[in-house]
Amino acid sequence: LIALEATRTRLYERLTELQQGGLSLQQGYALLRTRVGGDATFLARACGIPAASATSLDKAFEDFVGTYLENSDLPAVARPRIYLRVSDGGLGMHSVAATAPAANAASWHSCIPHILKRMELPTVSALTTASPWCAASLPACTLQIQLASGDPAAIVGDPDISASQRTLASAPLAAAAVKARALIATTGRAAQAAFRSAGGPGSAGWLLPPSLAPHFLSNPAFRVALRTRLDLDIPCQVGLCQHRDAAGTICGHPLDAKGQHSRSCRKGGWLVKKHNSCVDELAVWCNNNHAYTIKEAIIPNANPDHPEARIDLIVQIPGHAPIYVDVTIVSALAQEPMRRGSTLKDGVACELAARAKQAKYPGITVCAFVVEEHGRFGEDAMNFLKKVAPQD
């Protein structure tokens, strides 16, 4: 345990040194996530980790994650999200306190039949009588199995019970997710909507190790993205919006702490630039995966009332009919999605935008490639990505 604590401390120190020497925050974060993914598992399975030590390890880890934000500002409401699954709106990190007891119980469960056979003992009760170590360790393991299985009569080592580390860890992780949602609910409806909007498959792909040019984020951009995902205030969002239109008129709208206005301001072509950059990257990705694309195509039959109607992309996959793709970025915090229940249901903003796109092009089947500002992809977007992506 002392060695594990020392290894983690050295990891934090080394990453800090590397980042001071020029390593980007995004790359440092990816290294951190990889390195602590299972560094405590062997120790937990071999001899267990005391609850107080596990909590201490998690606290030190959370504090270091806070260094990726300005002034290490990681409030209590954001800490549980570090360990939530990415698809649930979290960061997908490994919690020692949540997984160590499950790892230890799973290890005991798989070993006990061999121990009983080797020691020629008939039951687990006989083992606990013969071994003070087993007497001290097995009750907690049995409790873990009972909680995970829902069977109060379950006993550790029972060959008729399946008790892997994954199944045993699912209960505490699910309980942690419920607790996190309840904590977020106390901070308001907007926070609930933002939390749901940060979930779903692919919503945090930018947290993976970058490998291509479009993947790399500057340090300020990474901090803003991380704060947005965790629904934290963005320090630079103060004063009035300085975006200008073509005539030079300043927007002047008060900036909100979460950056919602900055992401949706219509002055100065920001929304158009954001939209076009997404279309461009999607086209490049399709072309790299052997799909031919045409951008900004006029589709005369798409809308009888607007023969000049344009579609963002026509994607031709060999052997398939053309796919008409229209890209849009929406906010789950906008008035209509909030009114329609984005605080209580996943993907409401995506659904509303997809319906609007389909109504805009009644003459064709349009693929509404919708992405919510906090990261969630719409259903059509996910289906499209799966269709174009290589099978492997």
pLDDT in tens, 210-223: 888 888 999 999 99
Encoded tokens for 60: 């030190």
What local confidence, expressed as pLDDT, does residue 329 receive? Answer: 93
C-alpha 352/C-alpha 374 separation (Å) is 16
- Which stretches of the chain are assigned E, i.e. beta strand? 292-298, 310-316, 323-330, 366-372
pLDDT of residue 106: 87
Q: What is the pLDDT of residue 165?
A: 79
Summary mean pLDDT of the chain: 89
pLDDT of 53 > 90? The answer is yes
pTM of the model: 0.86
Banded pLDDT at 167 (limits 50, 70, 90) = confident
Q: How far apart (Å, rounded) are the C-alpha atoms in residues 233 and 239?
A: 14
Token output for 239: 């004063």
Phi, psi (deg, nearest 5) at residue 292: -80, 135
**What is the percentage of the chain residues whose pLDDT exceeds 90?**
51
* 82/157: higher pLDDT: 82
Q: Which secondary structure element, helix H or strand E, spans residue 382, and what is its range?
A: helix 379-388
Q: Which pLDDT value is given to residue 211? A: 86
> What pLDDT, on a 0 to 100 scale, did the predictor assign at position 110?
86
Distances (CA, A) of 284 to 45, 87, 281, 379: 46, 26, 5, 21
CB contact burial 284-321 (16+ within 10 A = b; e otherwise): ebbeeeebebeeeeebeebbeeeeebebbbbbebeeee
Cα torsion for 177, 346, 286, 29, to the nearest 10°?
Answer: -30
pLDDT for 32 equals 95
Confidence class of residue 89 from pLDDT cuts 50, 70 and 90?
Answer: very high
CA distance 43 to 309: 62
> Residue 341 has what pLDDT?
93
Q: What gap in Å lies between CA 264 and CA 167, rounded to an integer?
A: 42
Instruction: Give yes or no for a contact between 194 and 231, defined as CB atoms under 8 angstroms apart.
Output: yes
In sign, the C-alpha dihedral spanning 348, 350, 353, 355 is negative
Q: For position 142, what pLDDT does the model report?
A: 84
Instruction: Say yes or no to pLDDT of 188 above 80.
Output: yes
Q: Is the pLDDT of residue 322 over 80?
A: yes
Model confidence at 316, in pLDDT bands (50, 70, 90)?
very high
105 in Cβ contact with 141 (< 8 Å): yes
pLDDT of residue 65: 94
Q: Quick check: 184 and 191 in contact, CB under 8 A?
A: yes
Q: Does residue 160 surpass a pLDDT of 80?
A: no
Cα 39 to Cα 12: distance, rounded to the nearest angstrom = 14
Instruction: Using pLDDT thresholds of 50, 70 and 90, give the confidence band for residue 166.
Output: confident
Alpha helices (runs of H) in the chain, residue ranges in sequence order: 2-20, 25-35, 41-47, 51-65, 96-119, 124-130, 132-149, 165-185, 189-197, 219-229, 260-264, 270-288, 335-339, 348-360, 379-388
* pLDDT score recorded for residue 162: 77
